[in-house]
Chains A and B, each alone.
Chain A
C-alpha cells in the first residue's frame, strides 16, 4: 500500500497513518487498499483523505455462499459462508421487505412465498461490500468534530474532505485534484 501524508505536524501525520493501518487491519481490508493520501492541516482546519482500492472480483452468486431448497411455505436458504450472511439478509430485505424474509436461526433464512428460481438469480456485488467497509474505516478515522464534509467517489477512489465550520472552495478544488490524481495513479510503478 502506498501511503502519502502532507501536513505540518510530523507526530500527528504518523499517528494518523498508524491509526488508519490499525483500522484497516481491524476491518480486514488491508489487502484491498492500494493507495491512500492524507492532507492534514490542523491550523486551517481541514482533514482530507483519499483512498484507492483494488477492483473487487465481480459478483458472487447466491449458490456459491448458500444452499437453496424449495419448501411448502417458500424458499429455504442455508448459508454456508457466514462472511456474506449480513449482506445477504440485508439484500433480501431490500428486495422483498422484512415481512417476507424470516431469519430462522443464525444461518437459516426463510423467504415466504418466494419461488426458488427467483432466489437463484440473486448475486452479491463484492465491490459494493468493499466500498461499505472502506467507508466504515473512513468514518472511524475522521476527526469527530469535523462535521462539514465534501466527498467524491468513483469506481475505485473515495475522497473525503472534512472541516469544522465553513467549507472553502479552494479546499474543494484541492480535493478534486487529489481525487483525479488518485484515479490515474499507476500503483505498480508509481509514487504519490
Chain B
C-alpha cells in the first residue's frame, strides 16, 4: 500500500531526508517517531505531494510520485485516495462543521447535497460530534475540531490516512478523545501513517514503528520491538 524508496530531499543545501526507505502494509498503522527536526513531518508531506523531493520514489494507494514538481492532475488523483489530518486542524472557519465535512465530496466527487450530508452526519456521529453539525469551528474545543478534521478527511473514503502530529496542539483530555477516534479507525482496518511523539499511542495502535534521526531511518520494527 505504501512504499518509499531512497527518498532524498534537501532544503537550502542541507539534507532533510537522506535515502529514506520504508514500506507499509494495507490495514497497517505506521508510526513515524524521532526527535524534532528529524524529518518525520517532511516525510509525511512527501507522501501526499505537499512537498517535492529530489531523488527516490513514493508509491501510495496505487499512485506514484517521482522527483521534481508534480502535475496538478497527478496530485488531485492521489489526494482523493490519501487523506491528511494536520496538527493545527485547519478547518475552514467560515463554513459550518457539516459544510466542512461535505466540502470535498461535493466539490471533488460531485456528490449531491443530500448524499454528502447523510454521509457527513454518519461520520460526525462516528467521531461523537453528531450534534455539532451546525456549529462553527471556532465554537468547538481543539479536540472537537480535530475530530471534525478527521471526519472531513474520512468523507473522501481515503485508502490511506496521514496524521501529522494530530494531538500536539491539544491538552491531555482532548488528546485522549482524539486518540480514541484514531485507535478505533486502526481497529477498523484503516491504513494509516502517523507522525507522533506519543509512545503510549504508538504502542497501542502502531503495527510498525519507524524512527528517524537526521533525515535517515535510525531503526524500524514492530511496536513491541521498538518501544
Whether A associates with B in a native complex is: no
Interface of A toward B, CB cutoff 8 Å: none
